[in-house]
Amino acid sequence: MFRAVRLIDPASGRDEHGDLLVRQGIIADLGPNLGQPEKALLVQEEGAVLCPGLVDMRASLGEPGYEYRETIASAAEAASAGGITTLAALPDSVPAIDDPALVRLLRARGEETGSLTILPYAAITRHCGGEALAELGLLREAGAVAFTDGARALRSGRLMRLALSYACGFKARIVQHPEEPSLAEGGAATEGELATRLGLPSIPAAAEPILVARDIRLAKLTGGAVHFSHVSTAEALDLIRAAKADDLAVTCDTAPPYFDLNEMAIGEFRTYAKLSPPLRSEDDRLAVVAGLVDGTIDAVASDHQPRDADDKRLPFAQAAPGGAGLVTLLSVTIGQVHSGNLSLMQAIALLTDRPSKLLGYQAGGLAKGAPADLCLFHPDRSWRVEAGALPGKGQNTPFDGRVLQGKVLGTWKAGRRVFG
C-alpha cells in the first residue's frame, strides 16, 4: 500500500495527495485517507509522486543480432530503473522483425522478464531494406503495434503511399524516421558554423521538413496515419502543426536530447552526443520546447540507441550515432517542469497516457481494476548521470556527467517491485 503520496494520473486528470492499495497485482483502491488493511506492506516517501509506469514508444533493444550492445534482459533492467514498464521496440534488428513469428517472440520475451511489456513494431519493408513491403496484415494480426523501418527513413514515395494505404485498412500507423536520405547520407552534424569549424560532414536541417512535407501530403492522399519520430526542427513542427489543424492523421514524438541539448553539446568531437537526427541549433531546441507546451508534440520517447565502446571510440564522423536514454527519460523530461515550461501533469502525460493511446495499448493509467504498473519518483531529488555505472549495457548517454533533478525511487510491474 502506498501511503500519503501525490497521485498523478493524466488519463483521468487525477492530481491529489492520497493512498493507493494493490491486491494481487491489481489496483484495488485509490484516493485520500484509505484505511490500511492488516499485514499490508507500506510504501511511504515524503514528497514522492506515484504515477503510472512510463510508456516508452521508441527504443532499440539490440536483441536479436546486436546483443553486445544490449539484450532484452539488460534493457529491461535499465527500463525499470527509469520507471518504464511498457516499451515499443524497433524492428531494425538482425533479423529484422518482418515475420509474424518474430513479433510474437518479442512479446513473449518481454513477458519473460517479469518487469517489462514489449510492444513490437514491425518492419514496413522486408529486412527494413526499403525495397519491398513486408506482410503488413499478417504482422498486425501477430501483434505489431505499428510499422517502421526504425532508424532508416523510407526513401521511396511510392512505397510510403502503398504502406499508408494498406495500414489504413487495419487502423495502424506508419512511423517514419524523418530525414531525407540523400541529404543525410554521410553526415555527422547539423549543417552550420559549428560543423564547418570542426570540419565535420554535415546534414542540412532542411532534410527533416522535406521528408515530413512529403509524407504529410501522402497521408492526405491516402487517408493513412503517419507518425514522425524524434522531431527536432522548427520547420518540421510547423508543418505538423498545420497538418493537425487540417485534421489529418499526423502525430509526432520527440526525445529528451532535442529539447534539453543543442549542437554545442558535441563540444570537441564528443561522440556520445552524436545522435540521429543530429543535435540542432538553439532556435530549433526552443521550437521543440514550444511544441511540447502547445501540444503539437504528442509524446516523449527515450529513442534509446545503445552502442558499445567500439562504436563510439572512433573519429566523430565514423562513430555510430545514437544515445542510451531509458534511465534518463523521466528526469530530463521533468527538467522542463523545473524550467517552468510544463506542469508535472503535462510532463507525465507525455510519458504515459499519450504514448499509450498512440500505440493503441491500454497502459499508463491509475484506476481501480487496472494492472499495478507504477512508478514512484521524487521530482526534486537529484542524481548524477555516470556513463559506465548505469543499469543495462547501454552507457553511451549524451547526458554523461550531468546532475539531473527527478529520481525514480521504485518501479512496480503488476504489483511486484522490480526496481528500488
* pLDDT per position as a tens digit, 367-392: 999 999 999 999 999 999 999 999 99
d(CA 304, CA 325): 5
The three three-digit cell numbers of residue 309, written as one number: 565502446
Percent of the chain with pLDDT over 70: 100
Q: Which of 379, 419, 404, 416 is nearest to 50 (CA)?
A: 379
Residues 390-418, mean pLDDT to the nearest whole number:
97
The answer to whether the CB of 145 falls within 8 A of the CB of 91 is no
Q: Which of 148, 124, 322 is nearest to 229 (CA)?
A: 148
Using alpha carbons only, how large is the chain's radius of gyration in Å? 20
List 408's β-bridge partners, or say none. 377
pLDDT at 27: 96
| Residue 208 Cα distances to 130, 133, 204, 239, 280, angstroms | 18, 23, 8, 11, 11
Average of per-residue pLDDT values in the chain: 96
Q: What are the domain boundaries of the chain? A: 54-364
Q: Which of 356, 335, 306, 319 is nearest to 10 (CA)?
A: 356
The answer to whether the CB of 235 falls within 8 A of the CB of 206 is yes
d(CA 402, CA 320): 22
Neighbours of 48 (CB within 10 A): 19
Burial of residue 64 (CB within 10 Å: 0-12, 13-18, 19+) is middle
Q: Is the dihedral of CA 18, 21, 27, 29 positive or negative?
A: negative
pLDDT at 172: 97
- Confidence category of residue 170, pLDDT binned at 50, 70, 90: very high
- Confidence category of residue 33, pLDDT binned at 50, 70, 90: confident
What 3-state class would DSSP assign to 399? Answer: coil
Q: Which of 174, 168, 108, 176 is nearest to 145 (CA)?
A: 174
Beta strand residue intervals within 32-168, DSSP E: 49-52, 54-59, 84-89, 117-120, 147-148
Task: Give the domain 54-364 fold.
Answer: TIM Barrel (3.20.20)
Does the pLDDT at position 355 exceed 90? yes
Residues 327-344, mean pLDDT to the nearest whole number:
98
- Confidence category of residue 312, pLDDT binned at 50, 70, 90: very high
Q: Which of 203, 262, 259 is nearest to 231 (CA)?
A: 259
- What's the DSSP call for residue 42? P
Does the pLDDT at position 202 exceed 90? yes
Does the pLDDT at position 211 exceed 90? yes
The answer to whether the CB of 10 falls within 8 A of the CB of 348 is yes
**Residue positions annotated with a catalytic role:** 303
- Confidence category of residue 143, pLDDT binned at 50, 70, 90: very high
Can the peptide bond before residue 315 be classed as cis, meaning omega within 30 degrees of 0? no
The three three-digit cell numbers of residue 74, written as one number: 539488460
**Displacement of CA 327 from its chain's centroid (Å):** 12
Does the pLDDT at position 314 exceed 80? yes
Name the phi and psi angles at 354, rounded to 5.
-70, -45
Residues 119-135, mean pLDDT to the nearest whole number:
97
pLDDT at 364: 76
pLDDT at 35: 82
- What's the DSSP call for residue 341? S
pLDDT digits (tens, 9 = 90+) for 410-419: 999 999 999 9
- What's the DSSP call for residue 133? B
What 3-state class would DSSP assign to 288? Answer: helix
Does the pLDDT at position 39 exceed 80? no
Q: Which residues contact 173 (CB under 8 A, 6 or more apart)?
A: 146, 147, 167, 225, 226, 227, 249, 251, 358
pLDDT at 332: 98
d(CA 250, CA 203): 25
**Displacement of CA 276 from its chain's centroid (Å):** 14
Q: Which of 68, 115, 88, 64 is nearest to 395 (CA)?
A: 68
d(CA 364, CA 356): 6
pLDDT digits (tens, 9 = 90+) for 259-308: 999 999 999 899 999 999 999 999 999 999 999 999 999 999 999 999 99
Neighbours of 341 (CB within 10 A): 16
Does the pLDDT at position 88 exceed 90? yes
Residues 76-96, mean pLDDT to the nearest whole number:
97
Name the phi and psi angles at 382, rounded to 5.
-105, 160
The answer to whether the CB of 53 falls within 8 A of the CB of 412 is yes
